[in-house]
Amino acid sequence: TAHHSPQRNEWIRSVAQVRCAIHELCHVLGMRHCPYYQCLMNATRSDVREHDARPSELCPVCARKLQLSLGFRFMDWFVALARAWGGAGLESERAAARARAWGAAGRLASDSVPQ
């Protein structure tokens, strides 16, 4: 396992807490656990490692459910996620959200997707 600084460990715990909060909020919005893909809405046991390993994003099925529930544009959603992850110093999460924003835009328009 990788050894991280205390500050990095705190970020990792914070991200896991945000994932858990978003997962529970999706339940409040009527979403159930996802059996289809690697997804933020996957069910986990009480094992902390499972919760910490939960993906940061919804799968396409669950993202569509959330979009229908809240009425947002996917590109706007992923641009906001990229900015949030980048602001938290989580480069791999930022890059993944940025790539999804490109896909949602249907083109590689780097001027419309945050660096």
Q: Choose the most confident range, by mean pLDDT, from 8-17, 21-30, 49-58.
A: 21-30
CB of 62 closer than 8 Å to CB of 34: yes
CA-to-CA distance for 90 and 93, rounded, in angstroms? Answer: 6
Average pLDDT over residues 84-111: 74
- In order, the DSSP letters of 46-85 are S-HHHHHHS-SS--HHHHHHHHHHH---HHHHHHHHHHHH
Determine which one of 10, 24, 50, 91 is catalytic: 24
Evaluate if pTM is beyond 0.85.
no
Average pLDDT over residues 46-75: 81
24 carries an active-site annotation = yes
Average pLDDT over residues 83-102: 83
Indicate the pLDDT class of residue 11, thresholds 50, 70 and 90.
Answer: low
